[in-house]
Structure 1
Amino acid sequence: MRYLIGRYHEIALKGRNQWRFVDQVKQNLRDLFGDYRLGNIRSVGPRLMVQIPDELSDEIAAERAALIFGLQNFSISYSTPRDIESISREAIKRASGSKARTFAVRTRREDKRFAMNSVEIDRAVGGEVQEALGFEVDLSAPELTISIEIMNDAAYVSAGKIVGAGGLPVGVTGRGMALLSGGIDSPVAAYRMMRRGLRLDFVHFHAHPLVSAASKEKAAELAAHLTRWQARSTLMLVPFGNLQREIVANTLRPLRVILYRRFMLRIASALAERSQATVLVTGESLGQVASQTLENMAVIEKAAAYPVMRPLVGMDKNEIIDQARLLGTFETSIIPDEDCCTLFVPAHPETRARIEEVEAAESRFDIPRMIDDAVRATEVARFWFPPRATNAATAKESGTQY
């Protein structure tokens, strides 16, 4: 019988609160394997054990398990009786077909009453594997590691451990609203906050129909990709072009970008309230563009009704690009588009805005009306992983229905 055995990351350090984190991992696992009927799921010491159904291949099981935040590593393990002959046979079976030339056996005993200690098991099983398959023993840097875990009910054998996603399980630290621009930075920021246990909804500001719908399509593709780590997502598509035109008609050029950003945070805050989110997440990096100077970020943030989290604030562009490539969002993010950030942008935007000057400029606007108009015009797209037939089908909904 096959089992997915996941080993906890930070969860192992949570003391009396550990059960909350473990329960969240279990729920997230059920969601990400929602198209399969998993067997028993139980927590045994510092590990999670999940019975895998016959129709679920090792490849898909490993692919899905790698998306679950909270697991440091995992393995596809096979149960066998708790005698050294059975364990050795299973180890040989797991290692057969491997192209490795060197190997090691690593044993952990959950049940310390087992007749042999871990070192004795390693030696006994290792000798049988070496004789049967001709591998050389290398205890420092083996190409293949055979893992054996001795539990109360059975022994569990696997050929190697797979690196997990780490972090904290999505949903355990709360809910946030991530501003998803369609560029390189914001998907990386969203991923980093999901890895810290935050469940996210997404909001994208676009200028369609003043420009093409390309940025909306990119945002939907990025949201669908990010949904792989949290099983379900909502993307809110806010038409922003007319609001920008109103700002352009009533504001001096240098301050326009500052006002755009402040209105985005106001609208995102209104949508966050309806989604029961308690923080906003942006992909800002200090000094990267004119709106991301220290002075401008401080002025812009004052318009938000919720704390603004900036997980990339101390990273440079190359670091962010490297993470986007690993995440799998880079190629989508660099597809050319026309988003609202490129519409009506002055040649020389203000880099050191003063709050008094900005508030004076905003006094010309009916801010509550503008926010309400944007929220009511917002379209909503919902995504699931594993995908459903309705994935990425965008339906226009009233903001009061969130």
Structure 2
Amino acid sequence: MFDHILVRYGEINTKGQNRSQLERLLMNNVQQAVKEWEAVNVRRISSRILVQLNGTPAEPVLTRLSKVFGISSLSPVMAVRADVETITEAANQLFDKLPSAPRTFKVEVKRGNKRFVMDSPTLAGHVGEAVLSAHADLTVDVHHPDATIHIDVRDEGAYLYAEKIEGAAGLPVGMSGRVCALLSGGIDSPVAVWKAMKRGLQVDLVHFHSFPFTSERAQRKVEELTSTLAGWSRDLNLHLISVTETQAAIQKSCPEALRTILLRRMMFRICEALAARRGWLALVTGDSLGQVASQTLEGIYAVDSATSLSVLRPVGMEDKQDIINVARRIGTFETSIQPYDDCCSIFAPRHPKTHPTLEEVERAEEKLDVQQLVETALQSLEVKRISAADAR
């Protein structure tokens, strides 16, 4: 019955002079999202995107589009000619196909086509009377109806629907620039990546490992997380970088209590060395203030001082349970809790320094050949292009 999907966007409508550019970007992202279904056609109509299914089942397309950032809501719709009797007949068909048997209903009309022969209240009344006469024991309730028939009358036709599905909201991926994000394999960093993408950022992922001390299974876990996140975006670039030699140097020459801080400073420097080549404007991390010993305000300050890149922390002020709730919703939680250690956890000091000063961190770092360690790490760089299909 439903041969089209009506795509709405919210925040884009507030963007003034940038609106047309954002609409084109969202249109492109929608086309990319549905490209696996060859019969599906996508086109723009006034303040909306219309997806024509051409025989493709609506459910999988709706599921995929619900993960496209920038979309506020979706509706499977019937597309008919914009004349009164055709609309009325379609409304009765739509009502008959509702999954439950409502006892009350109302009709809501939006009339983008101001030349239509009836105004919105008149058309709503006309259609409502027809539905009432065709269905016994049915009454109108304009405040709390069991079902609502929506009619959107436009120049090119009319669209009828009874369901509005929540979209991912946010801004289209690619609008806000390109960044790198540290992906550890834990719970927090995938959520931080998801939140960054929701604000329109194109994210490249960086995973630091210390093979052979971290396992191939730990890497596969990170690749699976990347694939899940790609389902909310486009295909993602995963940068795999070894810090085995960096960790060995820190362990040999530096105080144990500062290991994690020093390692993270090196990670930030490595990302900065890649930033110019990749077009990264900022660095995204999954840090949450006070959650672990290295994420005190002093620790964060000491780490950030190692780079000139802007550092974004999308989950920085959130409780752990709130982060877990998001991880469950976006599909990363079950992968994140797989028990494979990352390079930070196997390197963690027994008694970490929770309130380091920048001076003592820099003093400890004087024993390291920082530039050589950065160059050595970059020589291990491996880049994988990962899509949502890789998780299937």
TM-score of Structure 1 vs Structure 2, range by shorter chain: over 0.9
2:243 and 2:354 mapped to 1: Cα distance?
22
Query: Is 1:31 aligned to 2:32, yes or no?
Result: yes
Q: Deviations over 1:143-187 (max 9, x none)?
A: 432221101121111221111111100001111111111111111
Q: Is the 8 A contact 1:92 1:133 kept in 2?
A: no
In the TM superposition, what are the counterparts of 1:346-385 in structure 2 within 5 Å? 346-385=349-388
Is the partner of 2:114 in helix, strand or coil? coil
2:327 and 2:96 mapped to 1: Cα distance?
36
Q: Deviations over 1:216-251 (max 9, x none)?
A: 111111100000121210111122233212110010
In the TM superposition, what are the counterparts of 1:171-250 in structure 2 within 5 Å? 171-250=174-253
Cα shift at 1:53: 2.7
2:78 and 2:125 mapped to 1: Cα distance?
20
Is the partner of 1:176 in helix, strand or coil? strand
1:129 aligned to 126, 131, 134, which one? 131
Which residue does 2:67 correspond to in 1?
67
Cα shift at 1:60: 1.5
Which residue does 2:109 correspond to in 1?
107
> TM-score, structure 2 length as denominator?
0.94
Q: Is the 8 A contact 2:245 2:373 kept in 1?
A: no
2:177 and 2:350 mapped to 1: Cα distance?
40
Which residue does 2:314 correspond to in 1?
311
Equivalent residue letter for 1:290: A
Q: Is the 8 A contact 1:69 1:170 kept in 2?
A: yes
1:51 and 1:219 mapped to 2: Cα distance?
36
Q: Is the 8 A contact 1:81 1:154 kept in 2?
A: yes
**What 5-or-longer segments of structure 1 have no aligned partner?**
393-402
In the TM superposition, what are the counterparts of 1:164-175 in structure 2 within 5 Å? 164-175=167-178
Is the partner of 2:259 in helix, strand or coil? helix
Which residue does 2:331 correspond to in 1?
328
Equivalent residue letter for 2:171: L
Cα shift at 1:210: 1.4
- TM-aligned CA distance change 1:245 to 1:136, over 3 Å: farther
1:155 and 1:107 mapped to 2: Cα distance?
10
Cα shift at 1:40: 4.7
> TM-score, structure 1 length as denominator?
0.91
Equivalent residue letter for 2:118: M
Is the partner of 1:77 in helix, strand or coil? strand
Q: Is the 8 A contact 1:295 1:352 kept in 2?
A: yes
Q: Is the 8 A contact 2:31 2:42 kept in 1?
A: no
2:347 and 2:71 mapped to 1: Cα distance?
46
Query: 257-266 or 103-112, which moves further after superposition?
Result: 103-112
- TM-aligned CA distance change 1:190 to 1:141, over 3 Å: farther
Equivalent residue letter for 2:67: L
Q: Is the 8 A contact 2:4 2:79 kept in 1?
A: yes
Identity of aligned residues (%): 40
Is the partner of 1:124 in helix, strand or coil? helix
Which residue does 1:257 correspond to in 2?
260
Cα shift at 1:49: 2.2
- TM-aligned CA distance change 1:270 to 1:161, over 3 Å: same
Q: Is the 8 A contact 1:187 1:324 kept in 2?
A: yes
Which residue does 2:285 correspond to in 1?
282
Equivalent residue letter for 1:209: P
Which residue does 1:267 correspond to in 2?
270
Equivalent residue letter for 1:172: M
Query: 344-353 or 139-148, which moves further after superposition?
Result: 139-148
Q: Deviations over 1:303-327 (max 9, x none)?
A: 1231000011111101111111111
1:343 and 1:369 mapped to 2: Cα distance?
23
1:348 and 1:138 mapped to 2: Cα distance?
65
Which residue does 1:397 correspond to in 2?
none
Q: Is the 8 A contact 2:173 2:200 kept in 1?
A: yes
2:133 and 2:328 mapped to 1: Cα distance?
43
Query: 91-100 or 287-296, which moves further after superposition?
Result: 91-100
Equivalent residue letter for 1:128: A
1:111 and 1:133 mapped to 2: Cα distance?
29
Query: 143-152 or 247-256, which moves further after superposition?
Result: 143-152
Cα shift at 1:274: 2.5
1:136 and 1:260 mapped to 2: Cα distance?
68
Q: Deviations over 1:16-60 (max 9, x none)?
A: 21011101101101111121233251141x322233332x21101
Cα shift at 1:341: 1.4
Which residue does 1:119 correspond to in 2?
121
- TM-aligned CA distance change 1:179 to 1:83, over 3 Å: same
Cα shift at 1:100: 4.3
Is the partner of 1:229 in helix, strand or coil? coil
1:152 aligned to 128, 150, 155, which one? 155
Is the partner of 2:50 in helix, strand or coil? strand
Q: Deviations over 1:109-139 (max 9, x none)?
A: 1112212122222222223233334544333
Which residue does 1:94 correspond to in 2?
94
Q: Is the 8 A contact 1:211 1:339 kept in 2?
A: yes
**What 5-or-longer segments of structure 2 have no aligned partner?**
none
Is the partner of 1:104 in helix, strand or coil? strand
Is the partner of 1:178 in helix, strand or coil? strand
RMSD of aligned alpha carbons: 1.7
Which residue does 2:6 correspond to in 1?
5
Runs of 4+ in 1 over 6 A off after TM superposition: none
